[in-house]
A and B are shown apart, each in its own frame.
Chain A
């Protein structure tokens, strides 16, 4: 186990190094000039040159990259060109909201996806199954903005059950989580259905049936544990996806997560912030995958970590 973990950590560091390098190169190749951007529209050429020097933008690419890495190792992600605030504090300030929405969304996805998937598997080939699969398909292909606005309009504006966007209480969390749950639940339900169908064909299920176990017991006690394995890996992936932010849903509901920050930074070509959120997302993707791999043996002891 310790050896496995050490190997995974080394891998992770290499992956993250790769991410910083690729992102850095891509952003370096952008035609926008950060020094000009900071200097603003009324600046003289001398001002721009001085800013370029101060930021080290006049150095060759490899030196800039090494400087960035050197600062990064000390926990310094640089300062935003636009907000002039430390990137670390910008990212840090948005982590709690991001993690909260991620948890809410994954809970909703799992609840919707598992329930629908199991029901479809048990009713395989019947109208219920078809209806659930069509609904899943609609769910995964529906535009986030439309679903978000629709839920907001019905449950917040018309019925007044929830606040119209914002952040702070449990009530604020419901609609954005539900939006992401409806949209992502489709993937989970399809996965849950196919893995449940596989499991229900296994010999041990037939044995349990022969011993007289009831339908519910078969599904929830014998089959479910094996059927959720592929979903655990999906949750790992989802953690990464949500860490890069649920951009659209966050903006519809005014949710102060990383997605908003990322979108703003991309629009303003705020390079240090783009680097920072990319790296943060990468860290979480790596962590999410590691977590999924570590949890899998708990669900299925046959899986060995090597």
Chain B
């Protein structure tokens, strides 16, 4: 069952896939060597039930596995710890057959019990997992979150077979089985390490943890028992912590480090990218990201759709993309271009300040109005929000800018009257998994429009909620296209109501040393940031 993609994205995925097959499938890649990745901030935790930032997300993927995964460099689902799976005709029951011979890093064989335990551990309130909500469609979820996490819907049929029953058809379920929060962990190690399991992770992944010196470095080494033949290519990965991105770049130029975990520092981006000798060292790709201005539809004057449309027309997106050195493409709709359901050819609201003024006048604001816009205080967000402020001023909207720490912006957004406008940069939204529904529920649906939720525009359209539920109930693989079209229509309807002004979709640029080899697709892998650790190889051992 493959995720359907738009023609363009599908073609690129196929190309990547082919490239990867040529690269990784070929036996001419010699394994060995090592890689150094730099990061500014500490690694938070490597517990798959807890880790939820873009830095530890991919590190966890290198240490652990789930039932499902994606083809390297693409958003195409494939079985991983599962050898195969079956879906019942009504889409309510999935039966997964485990691969034989998979072992945890401690030497114990993986069984179906481990799958059940790992998911239940994430759902258990005592684990305090930020990912519990992803398993909402499994039967018994409500009782599990109120109790000890035991899910009546998960049955161990035999040591190699696990059956998962759902309480509603859920077309995103296989993506959920590929998400970190579902990854297999061994109960005995979790119980041994207690709350410190995230510092002493034990999984089935391609790498295992060799060393962790708090605040200095984390070292992974090859798992010799990894079930996938020939992987990983590297013997060792060292993550150096506490390195300012500017300094990390100097070191990369000197050949001391291999990958910039935090990316190319904005101040040097144009110069580095313009340098011909870096041409083969920088991979560019799309990111499942949209940066947007959320307008609170519960607060005047944003309760008037004309005002929201005017804001959409007032913002000069091209200029904002220039402000961030062209590291993005202007956005026309909530979904990013590489996401299934993206409406190709849809222009959105074109930049037109006269039209915006006319709409404002029509809405009863010929002289504009005063409001406030909140933004995250990390670069480049203050600069972006100032540009938005200028654009709004040009049509008469006088928006006072408030830049705050991320947690404070999120807190304000979660209050019904907390913030009239929020610039989402640095906070939202990068997809948890490559499916259009992930851009709806938490940030545009009624479920997210609750105190403390992430739907900062407080847009709640019951009719669309019903359409979204209907789309996600289309589990029949034959209805893939129909489902994608349904999602596309939902987002186009949202654009009519304009609770957001989508501004741009970030592009990813991963810079690596000449020592690192692999197809470009794995350096901008849609589900691995900054790079797919299993697939990258060292050129100096070839």
Output the least CB separation between A243 and chain B (Å). 16
Of residues 11 through 26 on chain A, the ones whose CB sits less than 8 Å from some CB of chain B are none
Flag if B214 contacts A85 (CB, 8 Å): yes
Assembled-state Cα–Cα distance A263/B126 (Å): 29
Of A101-109, A114-122, A192-200, A253-261, the stretch lying at the interface with chain B is A253-261
CA distance A118 to B136 in the complex (A): 73
Shortest A46–chain B CB gap in Å is 6
Using CB atoms, name the residue of chain A closest to B40: A251
With contact pairs A33-B411, A264-B42 given, residues A252 and B442 touching in the complex (Cβ less than 8 Å): no
- Give Cα A42–Cα B214 distance, bound, in whole angstroms: 28
| Contact pick for B408, options A31, A47, A97, A164, CB 8 Å | A31
Q: Which of A33-89 contact B (CB under 8 A)?
A: 33, 36-48, 50-51, 54, 79, 82-85, 89
Measured between beta carbons, the chain A residues less than 8 angstroms from B47 are 84
Instruction: Tell yes or no: A238 within 8 A of B by CB.
Output: no
Tell me, yes or no, whether B244 is within 8 Å of chain A by CB. Answer: yes
A260 B247 Cβ-Cβ under 8 A? no
Q: What string of 1s and 0s marks CB contacts (under 8 Å) between B29-51 and chain A?
A: 00000000000111011010010
A47/B132 contact (C-beta < 8 A), A254-B247, A256-B241, A268-B407 known: yes
Report whether B128 and A42 are in contact in the complex, using a CB–CB cutoff of 8 Å: no
Decide if B414 is an interface residue (CB 8 Å cutoff): yes
B428 partner residues in chain A, CB cutoff 8 A: 41
Q: Which residues between 171 and 206 of chain B lie within 8 Å of chain A, taking CB atoms?
A: 195-196, 198-199
Residue A90 at the B interface, CB < 8 A?
yes
* Residues of A in contact, count (CB < 8 Å): 53
Query: In the complex, which residues of chain B have a beta carbon less than 8 angstroms from the beta carbon of A261?
Result: 42, 215
Question: By DSSP majority rule, is chain A's interface helix, strand, loop, or mixed?
Answer: helix
B405 touches A267 (CB 8 A): yes
Kindly identify which residue among B126, B133, B250 contacts A152, using a CB–CB cutoff of 8 Å: B250
Q: Is B21 an interface residue (CB 8 A)?
A: no
Q: Assess the A267–B378 pair: CB atoms within 8 A.
A: yes
Contact in complex: B408, A32 (CB < 8 Å): yes
Given contacts A83-B45, A269-B407, 14 further A-B contacts (CB under 8 A): A30-B408, A40-B129, A40-B130, A40-B131, A42-B134, A47-B125, A47-B133, A48-B452, A50-B128, A51-B125, A79-B195, A83-B44, A152-B247, A268-B406
B residues sitting closer than 8 Å to A (CB atoms) are 40-42, 44-45, 47, 50, 52, 125-126, 128-134, 136, 145-146, 195-196, 198-199, 213-216, 240-244, 246-247, 250-251, 254, 256, 378, 405-408, 410-412, 414, 428, 432, 442, 450-452, 454
27 contacts between A and B (CB under 8 A): A30-B408, A31-B412, A32-B411, A33-B452, A36-B411, A37-B410, A41-B428, A43-B130, A43-B132, A44-B132, A50-B128, A54-B126, A54-B128, A85-B214, A149-B246, A152-B250, A164-B250, A165-B244, A167-B216, A251-B40, A252-B244, A254-B244, A254-B247, A260-B42, A261-B215, A264-B41, A267-B406
Residues of A within 8 A of B (CB): 30-33, 36-48, 50-51, 54, 79, 82-85, 89-90, 93-94, 97, 149, 152-153, 156-157, 164-167, 250-256, 260-261, 264, 266-269
The 7 closest A-B pairs by CB, nearest first: A40-B130, A32-B407, A93-B214, A269-B407, A256-B215, A50-B125, A42-B133
